[in-house]
Structure 1
């Protein structure tokens, strides 16, 4: 049976906005504190390292997306360039890691909106986002556009307030630990990895060979500028020591800068940002789930596109239900480390796939996939030990499932 194709409705602007909604999201409000705890005054160095690795990964992904403009992202690239197993492993890592990220984003919404009912609000947020995605990807893009505009406005206000207020003292010159800087870079990479969502929507993008590479590059560039400005502003207002212990770093920064009136607005921005991240994450995970279901790596019942809304509605509902249950029952803030590990492995496979492209296939400069792959390995194994151990265990489980399933019924493409 021939799979029902998704409809190409997303423009360049829509694609950029979806990428921005994934990157300029809850991470900017939450990731700076744990990164500062690891890197100290080396936070900006860690940000630069994460940016370089993200650029290499984005360039490799863009080259592959131009060659394979269909849903699934690195799941498709790994399968086509390296073989079925590597594509499957990338898809496994993306779905599992990003499902944990979805739950963490939902819990962030609950923590800021109503801390006493964090899990209830998180579950409701997941169900709401799932409903939006169910009604069609264009509505998702429209909602994300509004969210990005609100979040960028709040971030600009916070940066201006920090720049105009008093600055922290000489603590910015504290000693820098190389291992801590690498760990911080790995944690910050979690917030940068949203450009994967653009590639996973390849089957719904207009002129994907041209649109996807441009959208990835533009969205990543804008996000890097925003992250750098916010990091400098928050560091100047709090210093690395106070930033490391802050549970709400941007709110604490504007308060320290003498703009306490802005603190509630920052909290609203954090809720909106987390909602935007959750919206884009569920969108991307459901598309990879669809691609894996088409190939028999996940239940084929998930390989259905809604005849009216043109979306993989069963995959979206399945992802939504799983994330809602996790958000309602578990505290997944610590899942950032595990999610970072899974995503770095995902991009390791993307870089390895890009390295096999030939010149006539749009291969990037040789150094880019090599540097990206090395960066992914270094950052992944610089993460906290528990994140590495859990990540290795999850990938080992995925490989075991593959081996057992291949014995019973080899997957068919």
Structure 2
């Protein structure tokens, strides 16, 4: 095996669990509140729209991953199908957007695990969490998969307990869904864009293409399974949160699920839900760092990032320098990241990433429907520009900076 090649050690279950770890932790405890603030009880419509776009993206990603089973995801697909610049832009959007998401997840872990600490000490705790997970990833992808499997199991158990508590001992009432405050078309689209943040975790599966056994079968199966389970969990939790709290209160709470449980006849479950939220965010962070480092590896191989980051550890078989670089960058970002703002920025960057994935899949002549690709591409563009203006401006600025770096390097090299 070459010095910059990764070993194929992950099976279907491992890949599915890594995708679940990214999506469940990133969405169910974080994204519902800002989405409800945008759409009111139209949150459920936004969730459905986000799921449709996510399905189209997953379909395109699975087809492309089966064709190009190497690390990097849409960075590789865009480069191979559309040209070097589009692959670079996808990779740049993914790395910047998901690095910011890593910082948000680290802060979420600290906020839920130690709500009594002030911001400074929560930041210190978040940095410690990032460094610890970087060390776990450094030891090998199989260790990361085992840790994520445990985290996902505990998280799903906690979510099931919370839903049961609300359903049987809370005060769920369908009337809280009417009227539909804020449920304008624009608000629903904005909510769908924010909720897309919660579905974007299946990208981790595609970015691990070089470490999956039999990728042509494993990746499509893992993406479909992870997305289906996640959608079912999200829909169930969203319905009971709206029935218990109503859209207005849901939109104002930083920890809506824990608060909803605290208002049932089983308030002692609320600390358990908080612990589950912290653990879920931990799982999302673990998988995020894993996926971002693989895209960094792929871009470094092509000299779009420092080539020293393309090294693979001879013993552990992981891109250790890329993982350390991502971990250090995230540790720095946690001191300035804002959880709510970063959801919008990350959603914009990742929607651009998937727009390029759908455009790439459109060039494939076999294996899928062109209509799905067109629907995915259109949905990504519409949702991206339906996000809050600050998120759109920040995303455009970061992508424009990346483009300037790309063309500036081309100019310097005389190409």
TM-score scaled by length of structure 1: 0.97
Residue 319 of structure 1 is matched in structure 2 by: 326
- 2:309 is matched with which residue? 302
Pair 238,126 (structure 1): closer, same or farther in 2 beyond 3 Å = same
Residue 334 of structure 1 deviates from its aligned partner by 1.4
Question: Aligned ranges for residues 278-297 of structure 1 at < 5 Å?
Answer: 278-297=285-304
1:384 aligns to 2:391 (yes or no): no
Partner of 2:408: 404
Gaps of 5+ in 1: none
Point out 4+ residue stretches in structure 1 off by more than 6 angstroms.
Answer: none
Please, which moves more after superposition, 252-261 or 68-77?
252-261
2:70 aligned with 1:70, yes or no?
yes
1:232 alignment partner, SS class: helix
CA contact (8 A) 1:237 1:257 kept: no
Question: Aligned residue for 1:275?
Answer: 282
Which residue of the partner structure matches residue 141 of structure 1?
145
| Cα pair 1:20 1:223 within 8 Å, conserved | yes
Distance 2:383 2:286 in 1: 27
Q: Shift of the alpha carbon at 1:163?
A: 1.0
Deviation at 1:280, TM superposition (A): 0.2
Q: Distance in 2 between matches of 1:185 and 1:36?
A: 10
**1:173 and 2:178 matched:** yes
Kindly indicate whether the alpha-carbon contact (under 8 Å) linking 1:238 and 1:256 is maintained by their aligned counterparts in 2.
no
**Deviation at 1:113?**
1.5
* Aligned Cα root-mean-square deviation (Å): 1.3
Further displaced range: 391-400 or 331-340: 331-340
Q: In 2, Cα distance between the equivalents of 1:410 and 1:121?
A: 46
The alpha carbon displacement at 1:110 in A equals 1.1
Tell me what 2:13 maps to: 13
**Equivalent residue number for residue 243 of structure 1:** 250
Number of aligned residue pairs? 408
Alpha-carbon distance in structure 1 between the residues aligned to 2:390 and 2:91: 22
Whether the 8 Å contact between 2:63 and 2:361 is mirrored in structure 1 is: yes
User: In the TM superposition, what is the alpha-carbon distance from 1:332 to its structure 2 partner?
Assistant: 4.3
Aligned 1:349-364 pairs, distance under 5 A: 349-359=356-366, 362=367, 364=368
Q: SS of the residue aligned with 1:69?
A: coil
Say which of 347, 351, 375 aligns to 1:371: 375
- In structure 2, the residue matched to 1:95 is 95
What corresponds to 2:239 in structure 1?
232
Q: Distance in 2 between matches of 1:205 and 1:169?
A: 44
User: Hey, what's the Cα distance between the residues in 2 that align with 1:156 and 1:3?
Assistant: 44
Report the Cα offset of residue 168 of structure 1: 4.0
Change (3 A) 1:16 1:169: closer
Displacement of 1:259: 2.2
Which residue is 2:43 aligned to? 43
Give the aligned partner of residue 60 of structure 2: 60
Tell me the alpha carbon deviations over residues 267-318 of structure 1, each in whole angstroms, 9 at most, x when there is no partner.
0001000000000000000000000000010000101000000000000000
1:328 to partner: Cα distance: 3.2
**Deviation of the 1:254 alpha carbon:** 1.0
| 8 Å contact from structure 2 (residues 172, 240) kept in 1 | no
**Post-superposition CA distance 1:196-240 (Å, at most 9, x none):** 000000000001111001100111001000000110111111111
Aligned-residue offset at 1:241? 1.3
The 1-side partners of 2:290 and 2:237 are apart by: 27
Choose 54-63 or 166-175, whichever is displaced more.
166-175
Q: Measured at CA, do residues 42 and 333 of structure 1 come closer, stay the same or move farther in structure 2, by a change above 3 Å?
A: closer
The answer on whether the counterparts of 1:18 and 1:197 sit within 8 Å (CA) in structure 2 is: yes
Change over 3 Å in CA distance of 1:4–1:26 after alignment to 2: closer
**1:149-164 equivalences in 2 (<5 Å):** 149-164=153-168
Greater mean alpha carbon deviation, residues 345-354 or residues 176-185: 176-185
Give the TM-score taking structure 2 as reference length.
0.96
